[in-house]
Every structure is written in structure tokens, then in C-alpha cells.
Amino acid sequence: MKGVYTWGGILAITLASVVGDVLLAHAMKQVGDVGELWRKSSLLAVIRRTLGNPYFVLGVLAMAVAFFSLLFALSWGDVSLVGPAAASLTYIGNATAAKIFLHERVDRRRWIAASLVAAGVALLAG
């Protein structure tokens, strides 16, 4: 039963952080190249434009949800399981979500990279 809670928590963290990452990435694509904007106008304008983007706000909210799910999951399971499992599942989930929602071209090279990093993170954090 404890395992169900722990894996539920891990899934919640993964889901929330994938949603957050996709929303933030989408927001920043709408904002545009920050370096270029900075040169054209001012840093303040860049910040105002980023913070005013609704996707950015939603993304930060999703990240907050992910953080609190992590706290919950840590109260149910071990750090050595929750940390690496959530981190490496996030890489795989993000590759899938970026392909579906952001229409990024996730070719074989990127799939291999995501899998390698996910495996490496699992080994390193475990």
C-alpha cells in the first residue's frame, strides 16, 4: 500500500513538472529571443513581458505543484527512490510531451540523448 502511494507521488511529480516545463517552454517561445528583445528595448520590458505571459504564470504554478508533490512523496517513500525515479521519468515524459504539444522534432538522436540522461540521472541520484 505504501508502494502505491509512493509511485502515485512519483507520477504526480513527473506529470506536474512535465506540464510546467511544456508551459514555460511555450511561454518563452511566445516571448521570443530574450537576448534580442533586451538589445531592442530594455531588460525591464523583457521581464514585464515574461511575467505577463499567462502560460508563464501557469507554468510556474505547475512547478509549485510539482514541488509540493515532491514533499508529499518524500513523506511516503525513500529519497533514494523518489528523487531519481521522478527525475528520470521527467526526461522521458518531457520528450514525449514536447513532441506532442510543442511540435518539436524529437528525432532518434534526441530520444537516445533523453534516455541516456534519464538512465544516468537514475544511476547518479540513486
Partner 1 sequence: MFAATGDSMLSHGMKQTGNISLNHLQGVIFAILNPWVSIGILLLLAFFATYMTALSWADLTYVLPATSLGYVLLALVAKFLLHEHISLMRWLGIALITGGVGFIAGGPALTQHHDATEPVDEPSGAAATPSFDSAQDKLLARTARNGAPSGVKP
Give the residues lining the site for partner 1 (CB under 8 A): 21-22, 24-25, 28-35, 37, 40-42, 44-45, 48-50, 53, 91, 94-95, 98-99, 102-107, 109-110, 112-117, 119-126
Measured distance CA(77)–CA(90) in Å, rounded? 18
| Residue with smaller CB distance to partner 1, 3 or 116 | 116
Smallest gap from residue 59 Cβ to partner 1 (A): 10
Residues 6+ apart with CB under 8 A from 56: 23, 24, 27, 28, 31, 50
In terms of Cα–Cα distance, which of 65, 60, 125, 64 is closest to 91?
Answer: 125
| Residue with smaller CB distance to partner 1, 53 or 69 | 53
Smallest gap from residue 1 Cβ to partner 1 (A): 29
> Which amino acid, one-letter code, is at 110?
R
Contact 92, 10 (CB under 8 A): no
| Residue with smaller CB distance to partner 1, 3 or 51 | 51
